[in-house]
Structure 1
Amino acid sequence: MSSNSSFTIPLGISAGVHIGAIVILALGVDFSSEPMPTPQASSAPAVQAVVVDQQKVAQHVERLKQQKLEQQRKEKARQDELDRQAREATQAREREQQRIKKLEQERKQKEIETKNAAAAAKAAKLREHEEKQKAAAAEAARKQKEAEKKAAEEAAAKAAEKRKREEEAARKAEQERKRKAEEERKRKAEEQARREQEQMMQDALAAEQAALSQTRNKQVMSEVQRYTSMIRATIQRNLVVDESMRGKSCRVNIRLAQDGFVTGSQVISGDSVVCRATKAAINKAGRLPVSSEADVYNKLKEINLTVQPEFN
């Protein structure tokens, strides 16, 4: 509505100004100037003009002057009115422009205020969001600390329980160690006593065995000497001798089976003639005397024997 009125007033002023200009032009005709003389067809009108009442002409001219002055006054008044209206229209237009400018400023100010309010609301919302996040983080941190504290307390309780169990286990282990150490000490003492007793028995048995062995060795050696003599005698019986063998001998190695069978013979050293005769005598005998007793046979199963021919 204000926009239509702002255009209507300037248009009215412009139309008034144009109309006033046309009126001024119309009234600007110089009525005081006398009319141009027109050619007369004859001298009769001129004569008539002479007789015109000069006073009436003067009055008529005066009326015309007055009319012109009145018209000029009215035109001036009208022009003054138009100027006043133009000034008022200009002032109104300026006021309207100021109002429009003010409204535009107010609109811009409102836009700025709206933007500021929106920015403030956004900032407030952001602050609220940040506060919520901080509160949530603080709550999470609090819960985390509570959980850590609870976990630490549980860990401390478990550690205390574990330490208690370990101390109890260590105490029992120490008791067990002492018990085993005592048992080991007793076992070692008993073992030592048993070993000492066994050693005494072994020493006694060894002494007895030594005595028996010595006796048996004497018996075995006696038997070995006896069977060695018998083996030599058997070889001598089968030995073929002659004078060339006198004072000579042969040393041989003889291997015998448990029944006295000769399993092998080998010359160790000596006269070759005597050695041949000795090997021939051994082979001829085929079996030599041995003892049935194992310890005596073990001494005789492989013997080194020196054979020296005997002469009557």
Structure 2
Amino acid sequence: MADKSNFTVPLGISAAVHIGAIVVLALGVSFDDKPKPMPVAASAPIVEAVVIDQKMVNQRVEELKKQREDAARKEKARQKELERKAQEAKKARELEQQKIKQLEAERKRKEQETKKANDAAKAAKLKQQQEKEKAEKAEALRKQKEQEKKAAEEAAKKAAEKRKAEEAAAKKAEEERKRKEEAERKRKAEEERKRKEAAAKAQREQEMADALAAEQAALSKARQRQVVSEVQKYQAMIRATIQRNLVVDPSMQGKSCRVFIRLAKDGFVIASQTLDGDQVVCRAAKAAINKAGKLPVSSEADVYEKLKEINLTVSPE
């Protein structure tokens, strides 16, 4: 609608200018200026024309010439006036065209301005929308950053608490380690002390044991000698007892029998057995042992151990 109104005004002005020019041109033309027709002489006989005065002819020629000149001058003036009016009309048209161009340019300018305004409004609206979106994004980003900051602060707080807990645990562990190290050091020191004491005690005991062993060895040797002596003594006594109870036959002279005897602690004969030798001597020896029933034996345990099972050789004297 704005474009149609912009074209209506220039077109109306242009039409009015053209109509005015046409009216001016029409009013400026004088229809009386047309060349007057030459007077036509009345039909007369040719004879009369011959006698027409040359002066009148010349005068008429001059009049006609003057009329033509006047007509030509008027026509020239009219043409000049027409040219002037045409120039004015041309100038008016040019002015009108210029005005139309100006109006068209103004219309285009206004159209461009309108377009620019619309574009500016659209751009402003778009910018406003973009700024709104930007603001919303900025607000969302701010909230996100605030949440991230809050989360980071919470994480930092938790990390600090965790670090403190770890430091406390590490300190406690270090103290526990030092306590254990100290306890281990004390334990090792106590063990070393006990080991040294035990070593010293063991050394003393070993020295005492060695001394006792030496003493026992000496005593043992002495006792062994004594036991051997006692065993030999009791063996002789046992052999003498058997000899007393032995029934000797002359055929037994120079012969012997080896016998095995097991004795109780009181000397009672638990068992006897001939091992080898002359059978007569062996029977006589076995009968003598059974007859005795009890043989001499020492009350000392170590001497008895050597006498509880003995092998003797019986030879008739």
TM-score range, shorter chain: 0.5 to 0.7
- For 1:251, the equivalent position in structure 2 comes to 258
CA distance in 1, matches of 2:143, 2:312: 117
Residue 239 of structure 2 is matched in structure 1 by 232
The answer to whether the aligner puts 1:152 opposite 2:172 as a matched pair is no
Query: How far off its partner does 1:262 sit?
Result: 0.3
> Which secondary structure state, in structure 1, belongs to the residue aligned with residue 276 of structure 2?
strand
Partner of 1:216: 223
For residues 190 and 285 of structure 2, the distance between their equivalents in structure 1, rounded to whole angstroms, comes to 72
Cα drift, residue 256 of structure 1 = 0.7
CA distance in 2: counterparts of 1:265 and 1:143, whole angstroms: 111
Q: Give the whole-Å Cα distance in 2 for the aligned partners of 1:139 and 1:248.
A: 130
SS state at 1:229 partner: helix
Q: How much does 1:197 deviate?
A: 1.2
Matched, 1:304 2:302: no
1:236-270 alpha-carbon deviations (Å, 9 max, x no partner): 11112223322221111111111111001122222
Partner of 1:176: 183
Alignment of 1:109-188 (within 5 A): 146-188=153-195
Aligned partner of 1:11 in structure 2 is none
Q: Secondary structure at the match of 1:223?
A: helix
Change in Cα spacing, 1:142 to 1:226, as seen in structure 2 (3 Å) is same
Matches within 5 A, 1:5-154: 146-154=153-161
Residue 309 (structure 1) shift: 1.5
The aligned amino acid for 1:210 is A
Query: Aligned partners of 2:155, 2:225: CA distance in 1, in Å?
Result: 95
Give the match's secondary structure for 1:225: helix
Supply the distance in 2 between the matched residues of 1:201 and 1:158 (Cα, whole angstroms): 60
Distance in 1 (alpha carbons) for counterparts of 2:147 and 2:251: 130
The answer for the alignment partner of 1:192 in structure 2 is 199
Q: Which residue of 1 aligns with 2:286?
A: 279
Distance between the aligned counterparts of 1:136 and 1:280, measured in 2?
Answer: 129
Which runs of 5 or more residues in structure 1 are unaligned? 1-127
State the 1:135 CA deviation.
Answer: 10
CA distance in 2, matches of 1:299, 1:145: 98
- One-letter amino acid of the counterpart of residue 226, structure 2: Q
Q: Matches of 1:153 and 1:267 in 2, distance apart?
A: 102
For 1:180 and 1:137, locate their aligned partners in 2 and report how far apart those are by CA, in whole Å.
Answer: 60
SS in 2 for 1:255: strand
C-alpha spacing 1:139/1:249, structure 2 compared with 1 (3 Å): farther
SS in 2 for 1:269: strand
TM-score by length of 2: 0.51
The structural deviation recorded for 1:181 is: 2.1
Aligned to 2:189, what secondary structure does the other structure show? helix
Q: What letter is aligned with 2:222?
A: T
The 1:136/1:278 distance shift into structure 2, 3 A limit, reads farther
Q: TM-score, normalised by structure 1?
A: 0.52
Aligned length: 183
> What SS is found at the alignment partner of 1:303?
strand
Which range is displaced more, 288-297 or 256-265? Answer: 288-297
